[in-house]
């Protein structure tokens, strides 16, 4: 059977089935989308992230970058720090330029995020490639977030930077300018703030941080990433969803 035809069949099958739940002890697949309200190619990728955000065993994240911002129109969700993160990935991968919509799978694989079948195949491969990571337990205790990280097991990477992400689970926007002017788009798991939270060395550790960050606007979801620096492979992640009325 022709390889491309077989790949298409597998991708179609993956799209028709719910994403499998994460196996206990295994890190979820982390899908990072770099997008912009000013990018006409991004809405299909934004919609896919909305689907993935509801899937088991996947942590889907939307970073709005400022590469499409102009004096006439600025994406109000954009953050230049997210553009720097995207460029860090670009440099590590040896890519000549950044683009939207770009997806990074587990901090390892880059692809065009609007190509749904390719995305699903990459996520399936990302799950197969993941090694069991340390246990991560993210909870809200009063007004503080608490993260408990287990010790590294045999063969596990014993060093990583801990990142804390403050997220808006969903927002519907009437686009006021740029290539999508006049469209109404719902964005899912919009990262509003990403901050370093510490360094994990392989031993058990507990971290605490205020629930509220420096970003304005509502926050109702939190995530943590264990990553090699700011642009390396992601070895573990956790997500904490609050109630629909929770805010910053």
pLDDT at 243: 60
- The overall average pLDDT reported for the chain is 88
What confidence score (pLDDT) does residue 19 get? 45
Mean pLDDT is highest, among 4-8, 9-13, 170-174, for 170-174
**Residue 132 binned pLDDT confidence (cut-offs 50, 70, 90):** confident
Name the band, by pLDDT with cuts 50, 70 and 90, for residue 8.
very low
Task: Name residues whose C-beta falls within 8 Å of residue 138's C-beta, 6 or more positions apart in sequence.
Answer: 145, 146, 147, 222, 223, 224, 238, 239, 240
pLDDT score at 96: 84
Residue-level pLDDT at 21: 42
Instruction: Identify any residues that bridge with 59 across adjacent strands, giving them in sequence order.
Output: 30
Q: Are 75 and 82 in contact (CB under 8 A)?
A: no
Q: Which of 78, 82, 59 minimizes the C-alpha distance to 69?
A: 78
Stretch among 11-15, 92-96, 119-123, 169-173 having the lowest mean pLDDT: 11-15
Domain 3-241 annotated CATH 3.40.718.10: no
DSSP class of residue 42 equals -
**pLDDT at residue 60 tops 80:** yes
Mean pLDDT (whole number) for 82-98? 94
- pLDDT reported for residue 13: 37
Supply the pLDDT for residue 26: 66
CA distance 101 to 95: 15
Domain ranges of the chain: 3-241
DSSP assignment of 171-190, as one string? Answer: EEEE--SGGGTT-EEEEEEE
Number of DSSP helices (H) and strands (E) in the chain, helices first: 4, 11
Torsion of CA 75, 97, 119, 82, to 10 degrees: -40
Mean pLDDT value across residues 88-96: 92
Facing residues of 78 across strands? none
């Amino acid at each position: 059977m022709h390889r491309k035809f077989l790949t298409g069949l597998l991708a179609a099958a993956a799209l028709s089935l719910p994403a499998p739940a994460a196996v206990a002890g295994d890190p979820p697949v982390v899908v990072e989308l770099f997008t912009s309200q000013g990018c006409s190619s991004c809405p299909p990728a934004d919609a896919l992230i909305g689907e993935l955000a509801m899937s088991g065993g996947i942590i889907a994240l939307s970073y709005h970058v400022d590469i499409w911002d102009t004096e006439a129109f600025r994406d109000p969700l954009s953050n230049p720090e997210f553009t720097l993160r995207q460029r860090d990935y670009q440099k590590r991968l040896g890519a000549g330029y950044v683009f939207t919509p770009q997806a990074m799978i587990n901090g390892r694989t880059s692809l065009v995020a609007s190509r749904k079948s390719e995305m699903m195949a990459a996520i399936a491969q990302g799950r197969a490639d993941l090694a069991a990571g340390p246990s991560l337990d993210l909870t809200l205790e009063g007004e503080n977030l608490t993260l408990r990280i287990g010790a590294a097991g045999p063969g596990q990477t014993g060093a990583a930077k801990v990142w804390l992400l403050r997220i808006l689970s969903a927002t519907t926007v009437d686009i006021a300018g740029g290539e999508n002017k006049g469209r109404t788009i719902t964005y899912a798991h919009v990262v509003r703030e990403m901050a370093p939270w510490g360094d994990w060395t392989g031993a058990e550790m507990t971290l605490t941080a205020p629930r509220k960050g420096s970003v304005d606007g509502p926050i109702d979801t939190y995530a943590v990433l264990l990553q090699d620096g700011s642009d390396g492979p992601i070895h573990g992640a956790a997500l904490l969803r609050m109630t629909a009325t929770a805010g910053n």
